[in-house]
Amino acid sequence: MVRSSIVTLYITSQSFPYTHSHYQLLSITIIPTKMSSEASTITSEPPTTAVVSIGSLSTNDTELTLGLPGGNSRKSGAKRTFSVTTDLKLGGTDRSSLECSVVRRSPSSKEQVVGWPPVRSYRKNMAKSGCKYVKVAVDGAPYLRKVDLELYSGYQQLLSSFEDMFSCFAINNVMEEMKLMDPVNGTEYVPTYEDKDGDLMLVGDVPWKMFVESCKRIRLMKNSEAGSSGMYKSQLT
């Protein structure tokens, strides 16, 4: 089934540092954006983002040009950001990034200059969110793992990492419930977590960001136990 995804096209310009000439970098990258917070979209294709980077637009130039810069006597261009939303029909799990024609003039141009702006690493790292490590326990496994929830943008990614970590698992998305299955013996595991209040919750109920904030530890619970603990009863009500 071909799903159409909303694609947001960000067009940014970036000027380059070398004062003797200026460069144009053109690339179109299609990358997955963050998952929407609605639980119901977990099983749908993630929306993707196309990023188009063009260098050295002059302040008066509102048109996109694919050609090399010309007639611009200033040493480097000003920044300009545009944002255009279009519908792209992308089939399948199109999470790969596509890069189209890259036009570069400088032998050593960089998209982001090393060490600029002059901000210490500690501050730069704070711009990315702090890490949120939580323990992951699997019923029956002798030792626990730890994951940094900040590294993931959504539930699907988190489950994939479980797949990788506990290589016996395969994600089994049935009826919008997330489960992991051990194909060897068919045991199903339900991802649960303990939240700030100490309650046992089902992974996937709340928006991803809220989950990241409130999750204290994760437990992959054997389905049999999940059933008896009444987890699914609450689902039916």
Partner 1 sequence: MDPAATGVTVAGTGADPAKTTMFPEEFLKRTFSLINSDKDRNSVSLVCKDWYNVERMSRRHVSIRNCYSVSPEIVTARFPAIRSVTLKGKPRFSDFNLVPDDWGADVQPWLNVFATAYPFLEELRLKRMAVSDESLEFLALNFDDFKALSMLSCEGFSTLGLEAIATHCKNLTELDIQENGIDDLGGDWLSYFPENLTSLEVLNFSTLTSEVSFDALESLVSRCKSLRVLKVNRKINLEQLGKLLVLAPQLIELGTGTFLEELVSGSVNGLENAFSKCGNLVTLSSFWDATLLHLPVVYPVCGNLTFLNLSYANIGPDELEQILSRSKRLVRLWVVDTVGDKGLEAVGSHCPLLEELRVFPVDPFDQQLGVTDSGLVAVSKGCPKLHYILYFCQRMTNAAVITVAQNCPNFTHFRLCIMNPSEPDYLTNEPMDEAFGAIVKTCTKLQRLSVSGLLTDLAFEYIGRYAKNLETLSVAFAGDSDLGMEYVMRGCPKLKRVEIRDCPFGDSALLSGLTQYESMRSLWMSDCNVTMDGCKKLAEEMSWLNVEVIKDEGGDDRLANKVYVYRTVAGPRKDAPPFVVTL
* Residue selected from 18, 43, 145, 209 as contacting partner 1 according to rule CB under 8 A: 18
CA 67/CA 75 separation, integer angstroms: 18
Residue 89 is a binding residue for partner 1 (CB under 8 A): no
* Residue selected from 2, 66, 114, 236 as contacting partner 1 according to rule CB under 8 A: 114
Site for partner 1 in 126-145 (CB under 8 A): 126-127, 130-131
Compare residues 180 and 218 and give the one whose CB is closer to partner 1.
218
For tokens 């490590």, the residue is 133
Helix (H, G, I), strand (E, B) or coil at 88: strand
Structure tokens at 185: 């013996």
Instruction: Identify which of 2, 5, 8, 53 has the alpha carbon closest to the alpha carbon of residue 27.
Output: 53
Residue 15 is a binding residue for partner 1 (CB under 8 A): yes
- Least Å from the CB of residue 159 to partner 1: 26
Compare residues 92 and 115 and give the one whose CB is closer to partner 1.
115
* Residue selected from 6, 113, 165, 200 as contacting partner 1 according to rule CB under 8 A: 113
* Identity of the residue numbered 36: S
Sheet holding 27-32, edge to edge: 27-32, 48-55, 4-14, 81-89
Count Cβ atoms within 10 A of the Cβ of residue 236 and give its class: 0-12 exposed, 13-18 middle, 19 or more buried. exposed
CB atoms within 10 A of CB 54: 21
- Least Å from the CB of residue 11 to partner 1: 11
CA 99/CA 82 separation, integer angstroms: 19
* Residue selected from 118, 142, 186, 230 as contacting partner 1 according to rule CB under 8 A: 118
Residue 110 is a binding residue for partner 1 (CB under 8 A): no
Helix (H, G, I), strand (E, B) or coil at 117: coil
Contact range with partner 1 by CB under 8 A, out of 13-21, 45-53, 86-94, 95-103: 13-21
Pattern 45-74, binding to partner 1, x per CB under 8 A? --------------x--------------x
Q: Residue 29: which residues within 8 A CB-CB, separation 6 or more?
A: 50, 51, 52, 53, 97, 98, 99
* Residues in contact with partner 1 by the rule CB under 8 A: 12, 15-20, 59, 74-76, 78-79, 81, 112-124, 126-127, 130-131, 196, 213
